[in-house]
Amino acid sequence: MSILSSNPAFFEKMMKAVCHELGVMESKLAEIAQKSVRERLATTILMLKETYGMEGEGSELIDITLSREDLANIVGTATETVIRLLSEFKNDGLIALENKKIKVLNQDALVREADFYN
């Protein structure tokens, strides 16, 4: 706090950066809140892939292990709903499941399912 109070220019830059990030987060939250559960799950899978990357070179597994309950908490729905939707995504050829890891098989279709362009 002493650095911020002793350097007004730095304080202003920091405040602008924080406000910008807050605005971006608010926008993302509002967008996600207006989506269906299916769209939110697809969006979450894509965000996990972007954030955590792939498990290893040549691997298609997202490099994070989440329980179905954890995934449901991120999406904001019941665990049973996530289990059903993951099964639907698997049957549609969008993803494959290996234990608690998700493999993205068809990213373009997953992006369409997430409704990123509407």
CATH number of the CATH domain containing 61: 1.10.10.10
DSSP string, 26-50: HHHHHHHHTS-HHHHHHHHHHHHHH
Q: Are residues 66 and 115 in the same domain?
A: yes
The pLDDT assigned to 38 comes to 94
State the first-to-last Cα distance of the chain, in angstroms, to the nearest integer: 43
The pLDDT assigned to 118 comes to 47
Q: Are residues 81 and 59 in the same domain?
A: yes
Report the predicted TM-score, pTM, of the whole model to 2 decimal places.
0.72
Q: Tell me the C-alpha distance between 25 and 44, whole Å.
A: 15
The pLDDT assigned to 72 comes to 95
Helix (H, G, I), strand (E, B) or coil at 114: helix
Q: Are residues 24 and 40 in the same domain?
A: no
Q: Tell me the C-alpha distance between 61 and 46, whole Å.
A: 12
Q: Are residues 22 and 48 in the same domain?
A: no
One digit per residue, the tens of pLDDT, for the chain of length 118 reads 888 889 999 999 999 999 999 988 887 777 767 889 999 999 999 989 988 887 766 677 898 889 999 999 999 899 999 999 999 999 999 999 988 899 999 999 999 998 865 4
Domain that holds residue 54: 36-118
How many structural domains does the chain have? Answer: 2
The pLDDT assigned to 25 comes to 83
The pLDDT assigned to 102 comes to 93
**Residue 66 near residue 100, CB atoms below 8 Å:** yes
List, in sequence order, every residue forming a beta bridge with 101; answer none if it has no partner. 98
Q: Are residues 6 and 53 in the same domain?
A: no
Helix (H, G, I), strand (E, B) or coil at 77: coil
Q: Are residues 14 and 60 in the same domain?
A: no
Q: Are residues 46 and 10 in the same domain?
A: no
